[in-house]
Amino acid sequence: MALVTVTDSARDYLAELINKQDVEGMGVRIFVTQPGTKHAETCLAYCPPNEVVPTDEQLDLGKFTLFLDHNSVPFLEEAYVDYAKDQMGGQLTIKAPNAKVPKIDDDAPLPDRVNYILASEINPGLASHGGDVQLVEIVDESVAVLRFGGGCQGCSAVSLTLKQGVESTLKERVPEITAVRDVTDHSYKENAYYQ
């Protein structure tokens, strides 16, 4: 069973929306579109009784049932749904840290663990500048060779990002990594974020 946390405020808010639909037995389905890719998005949708899929996992939340799309379950591990009231009414927040890459075990192969940290922790920060980083290979003595893309390619701040951001995070989270090396051609500056 995937561990999905739905706060009390989110349950109350969703239950209120469901009640407005006036459909007996209406639930909510949570699913991930394009799971395991950098384009993955976690979504909530109404789930009337005639759309329940037998393979869905079900969480009884008291006021309604949350249906977890079977194919999305590995990507919903540690997902969190919250609702916070604000001056404009409120904000429903869905966080699914494993939507882009499913959570892996500590004994997974080294490249899988590096890719997981890149996808779940490093790339979301780089995306705010239109950039991303990918693992090319791991070479002698556990050196991760990376390729920066998007706004990172040609960026003058990439060496700082590589050493203080990417390398320190990777070495902390994957202790077997001894260093990080960049193979990106930073002389191409057409889409660089900082020039």
**Residue list, annotated binding site for [4Fe-4S] cluster:** 152, 155
Binding site, by residue number, is 152, 155
Q: Tokens 């090319």, residue?
A: 136
Identity of the residue numbered 9: S
Candidates 98, 95, 141, 105; CA nearest to 120 is 98
Six-digit token pair at 128? 């705010």
Candidates 122, 119, 188; CA nearest to 155 is 188
- Residue 93 CA to residue 21 CA, distance in Å, equals 21
- Residue 94 CA to residue 47 CA, distance in Å, equals 17
Cβ atoms 189, 195 nearer than 8 A: yes
